[in-house]
Structure 1
Amino acid sequence: MKRLGSEDAEIYREIRLEALKANPEAFSSSYEEEKEYPLDSFENRLNFEHFYTFGAFVENKLAGVVTLILETKSKTKHRANNVAMYVYPDMRKSGIARMLMTAAINKAKEIEEIKQVYLTVTSSNDPAKNLYKSLGFQTYGIDKNGLKIEDTYYDDELMVLVL
């Protein structure tokens, strides 16, 4: 487990595009949009001061990622958001997602200002919701038709972890 940096941009781009293609309903970004982004946009994402992207490796191969984004405005600096969680399908059910989420939560706990961590999960994604609940996240709302892919709408479940 490590925080990814600009040297990891290529493998990060690879897993990110795979995630967007494999589970479009789980991300507000789309594969069609991000596949056009140059590599340096992924490098920049990994270098933002208030973004912490964690990667889990199995036999030196990136197996999963999650990003913790700190809010930067004075009125919301007590908040952080977990986004872009993805584990390759052949690596699921191995504890990697829990390790990634734990790393992000621990980072949030290290930052004295952070009091709450938020995330959004597709309402029908029971395995992810079960993981988040087991880590202490609670649902505080439903974003009805939060995403639209072609002619299909997906509800998003809004969750928070109070530290």
Structure 2
Amino acid sequence: MNIRLLNSNDAEAYLEMRLTALQNHPAAFASSYEEEKDRPAKMYGERFQSEESFTFGAFDNETLIGSVTLLREMKLKLKHRANIVAMYVSPDYRKKSIGRMLMTAAIDKAKELNGIEQIYLSVEATNIPAIRLYSSFGFEVYGEDKKALKVGETYFDEKHMVLHL
């Protein structure tokens, strides 16, 4: 397995994996398949070149099998914070420490960035494996958002977590 920052050459593979994730796990993401299915891969390629957004990919040979994004806050009063979003590992590769490797890469990047003191994330409240993973890095739940997401007629709660560096 190889973990690295994604670049514009990875945009098509990322879009394909992201759409699969949004279709198969709609409660895990704030975005929906319907909102993202017509977005061009080029948009992700441009995002991968940003100095505020860092998307790491996990690869099995040349196949993208997982990703996570670290977003740096840019507002003056929030510059000490970053957010982890869009964490995903393909089902066939779960329970193989891929998520741990992705989280390690994102947290290490946050530590490299000047001034980052806290990392935030949100996780669907019944996603126990993800909550366990995040907790193992020292993330702590600081709140729960009841009915945070609505997929069809079903509501999903989210736990909000923070890691103080």
Q: 1:49 Cα shift?
A: 1.7
Aligned-partner residue type, residue 61 of structure 1: T
Opposite residue 32 of structure 2, the aligned amino acid is S
Q: How does 1:135-146 map to 2 (within 5 A)?
A: 135-146=137-148
What does residue range 1-163 of structure 1 map to in structure 2 within 5 Å?
1-163=3-165
Q: How many residues align?
A: 163
Q: Which runs of 5+ in 2 are unaligned?
A: none
For normalisation by structure 1, the TM-score amounts to 0.98
SS of the equivalent of 2:115 reads coil
Deviations 1:63-83 (A, max 9, x none): 110000000010000000000
Identical amino acids, percent of aligned pairs = 55
Q: Distance in 1 between matches of 2:38 and 2:73?
A: 27
CA RMSD of aligned residues (A): 0.8
Q: Which amino acid aligns with 1:150?
A: G
Instruction: Report SS of the residue matched to 1:84.
Output: strand
Q: 1: CA distance between counterparts of 2:151 and 2:62?
A: 34
- Distance of 1:68 and 1:48 partners within structure 2: 11
| CA positional deviation for 1:125 | 0.3
